[in-house]
Amino acid sequence: MARLPENTPLSELLGGLVTDVAGLLRKEIDLAKTEASEKISQALSGVEVLIVGLVLAIGAVGILLSALVGGLAAVLVNYGMTQSNASALAALIVGLVIAAVAWAMVSKGLNALRGDKLRLDRTATSLRRDVNAVKEKI
């Protein structure tokens, strides 16, 4: 704000102050928008990399499971089974083990998401205490 003569009316000074404060607020809001936009762009870039990594990890798990089936089939062939029977049995064994692990993980995840596990018991108790305290004072 420029230096004003001492005989400037108070209304004019207040108007200038309001204009300056409004301009400052606008600049701060613009800065916040720019910064938020940059942070969102960074986060989206991180999400893209995460998704690519997860897709590659899923592929790697598939390849490792395939190798496990092949290795188990080779062991079964060494124990006298035919190649086709050994491959089928190895795939069945690995599939059942992986299915059991997946079922256990899904069950645990669903159990963690049940409604009674997500209740805010401490907050509800605290709010009840606060309400009772306010009622007592009234």
Helix (H) or strand (E) holding 51: helix 10-78
What is the biggest distance separating any 2 CA atoms in the chain, rounded to whole angstroms?
109
Whole-number Å distance between alpha carbons of 72 and 62? 15
pLDDT at 131: 76
pLDDT at 54: 94
Whole-number Å distance between alpha carbons of 70 and 88? 10
Nearest to 81 by CA among 92, 96, 66: 92
Residue pair 69/83 in contact by the 8 Å Cβ criterion:
no
pTM higher than the cut 0.85: no
Q: What is the pLDDT along the chain (138 residues), one digit of tens a residue?
A: 455 567 778 788 788 888 888 888 888 888 888 888 888 888 888 889 999 999 999 999 999 999 999 999 999 999 999 999 999 999 999 999 999 999 999 999 888 888 666 677 777 777 787 778 777 766
